[in-house]
């Protein structure tokens, strides 16, 4: 009889604690996620491409991620975002040829003051089809978070990694989100 009474008390306490736990969960669910404020992160990407060019084996690793040390950008609804940086790593036959981090400031001389203020680095894509033994070609896309309207650039890195050439990309290519890195 004593065991039944003890079991009843334990079960009663368990039910009470579960009910109060459920109440806390309901309160937490009632918070409006759109009311969350603060600086947000843009999408992050990472891609690895292995290919053969001539007799050499190459690997290109691209990653694009938010950098909290960079200036913030605003979307059309005035939401604040950390700007991205893009890391490029190129190896030839297993030996690193180039490692470079690109930020919006690397493109300052090619962008308008308005684009420098409102655009974020959205990503880079490796253009294997336009890569030669002399240079690796990439496309770097900037835009306002959301609508993504903004300039894009062709970036060529010499096969030694020593020289970098940038020009405005006027090809009007829709890169699509799946190609942004």
Q: For residue 6, what are the domain limits? A: 2-29
The answer as to whether 20 is a domain residue is yes
Same domain for 63 and 19, yes or no, is: no
Look at residue 172 in the predicted model and tell me its pLDDT.
55
Same domain for 44 and 22, yes or no, is: no
Enumerate helices (H) and strands (E) in the chain, giving the number of each: 2, 10
CATH assignment at residue 55: 2.40.128.510
Same domain for 96 and 148, yes or no, is: yes
Dihedral sign of CA atoms 36, 41, 42, 47 in order: negative
Look at residue 80 in the predicted model and tell me its pLDDT.
92
Q: Which two tokens stand for residue 125?
A: 């894509």
How far apart, in whole angstroms, are the C-alpha atoms of residue 152 and residue 173? 9
Q: Which two tokens stand for residue 178?
A: 């799946």
The answer as to whether 102 is a domain residue is yes
Same domain for 62 and 7, yes or no, is: no
Q: Which two tokens stand for residue 54?
A: 């001539």
Same domain for 53 and 137, yes or no, is: yes
* Whole-number average pLDDT of the chain: 79
Provide mean pLDDT across the span 30-53.
79
The answer as to whether 47 is a domain residue is yes
Q: Which two tokens stand for residue 179?
A: 């190609």
DSSP H/E element including 25: helix 2-29
How far apart, in whole angstroms, are the C-alpha atoms of residue 147 and residue 62? 23
Same domain for 8 and 96, yes or no, is: no
Same domain for 124 and 79, yes or no, is: yes
Tokens 């368990």 sit on residue:
14
Q: How many angstroms separate the Cα of 94 from the Cα of each of 97, 101, 119, 164?
A: 9, 20, 36, 21
Same domain for 95 and 128, yes or no, is: yes
Same domain for 22 and 49, yes or no, is: no
The answer as to whether 34 is a domain residue is no
Look at residue 112 in the predicted model and tell me its pLDDT.
92
Q: 82 and 68 in contact (C-beta within 8 Å)?
A: yes
Q: Which residues contact 153 (CB under 8 A, 6 or more apart)?
A: 107, 110, 139, 140, 142, 166, 167, 168, 169
Q: Which two tokens stand for residue 151?
A: 């300039």
Count of the separate structural domains present in the chain: 2
The answer as to whether 73 is a domain residue is yes
Same domain for 54 and 95, yes or no, is: yes
Same domain for 83 and 21, yes or no, is: no
The answer as to whether 167 is a domain residue is yes
How far apart, in whole angstroms, are the C-alpha atoms of residue 92 and residue 58? 5
Same domain for 99 and 167, yes or no, is: yes
Better pLDDT: 27 or 42: 42
The pLDDT tens digits of the residues spanning 114-133 come to 899 889 999 999 999 999 98
Q: Is the pLDDT of residue 31 over 50?
A: no
The answer as to whether 140 is a domain residue is yes
């Amino acid at each position: 009889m004593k065991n039944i009474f003890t079991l009843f008390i334990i079960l009663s306490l368990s039910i009470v604690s579960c009910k109060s736990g459920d109440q806390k969960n309901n309160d937490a669910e009632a918070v409006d996620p759109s009311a969350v404020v603060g600086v947000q992160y843009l999408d992050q990407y990472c891609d690895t491409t292995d290919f053969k060019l001539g007799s050499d084996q190459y690997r290109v690793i691209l990653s694009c991620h938010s950098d909290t040390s960079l200036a913030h950008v605003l979307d059309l609804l005035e939401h604040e975002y950390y700007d991205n940086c893009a890391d490029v790593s190129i190896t030839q036959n297993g030996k690193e040829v180039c490692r470079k981090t690109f930020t919006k400031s690397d493109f300052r001389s090619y962008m308008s003051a308005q684009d420098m203020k409102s655009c974020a680095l959205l990503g880079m894509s490796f253009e294997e089809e336009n890569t030669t033994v002399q240079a690796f070609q990439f496309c770097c896309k900037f835009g306002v978070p959301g609508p993504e309207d903004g300039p894009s650039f062709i970036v060529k890195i010499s096969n030694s990694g020593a020289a970098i050439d940038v020009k405005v990309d006027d090809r009007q290519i829709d890169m699509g989100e799946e190609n942004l890195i």
